[in-house]
Amino acid sequence: MSLKQVAIIAVTATLISGGAAIGTYFLAPPAKTKPKGIREALIEKGVKFLNVDTNSNEHDEIWESLILLFLAPNKDRLTKITAPTIKNRLNKDANLVAIKEACTNLLNEKEVDDTRIKMAEDWCALEVNLLASPLRT
């Protein structure tokens, strides 16, 4: 084989493999970007959230039911949201603020894992949570 034939074969092979690589790059579906946090991960799933504004009374009936569930004894299997100031039923206003702030903090977390996602769905989502209630429409 002459040097000219070897060069032509090498150039042809390079062009074919380069073309295949470029074609694959443009035709392959883009990789999914990882959600930037809990809120974004749930938004991607189509989850809608309870109103966490502490100055709003929207969804307060649902929040109050969640607080009662939070305070209920014998809920060993229940993964509770982190809200250490919710201690008794008498502090209704303080409990509402505490659970809303706990959801705000959870939804703003950047570390996404199945446990946190489930907790946010249970405690902060308008439709998907611990309550099986007609209030959730």
Q: Which residue has the tokens 């090498």?
A: 10
Q: Using the 8-state DSSP alphabet, how is residue 41 labeled?
A: H
Q: Is residue 119 part of a domain?
A: yes
Q: 21 and 50 in one domain?
A: no
Q: 111 and 46 in one domain?
A: yes
Q: 108 and 43 in one domain?
A: yes
Domain housing 3: 1-31
Q: Using the 8-state DSSP alphabet, how is residue 43 labeled?
A: H
Q: What angle do CA 45, 51, 54 make, to 5 degrees?
A: 145
- pLDDT value at position 40? 95
Q: 22 and 51 in one domain?
A: no
Buried/exposed code over 106-122 (b: 16+ C-beta within 10 A; e: otherwise): bbeeeebeeebbebbbb
Task: Give the separation between CA 124 and CA 128, rounded to whole angstroms.
Answer: 8
Q: Is residue 110 part of a domain?
A: yes
Say how many domains are in the chain. Answer: 2
Task: Give the separation between CA 39 and CA 55, rounded to whole angstroms.
Answer: 21
Residues 6+ apart with CB under 8 A from 79: 115, 118, 119, 122
Q: 77 and 10 in one domain?
A: no
Report the predicted TM-score, pTM, of the whole model to 2 decimal places: 0.70
Q: Is residue 135 part of a domain?
A: no
Q: Is residue 131 part of a domain?
A: no
pLDDT tens by residue, the chain, 137 residues: 777 776 677 667 676 766 555 656 666 666 666 668 999 999 999 999 999 999 999 999 999 999 998 998 876 677 889 888 888 888 999 999 999 999 999 999 999 999 999 999 999 999 856 776 444 44
- pLDDT value at position 18? 61
Task: Give the separation between CA 70 and CA 53, rounded to whole angstroms.
Answer: 19
Q: 2 and 24 in one domain?
A: yes
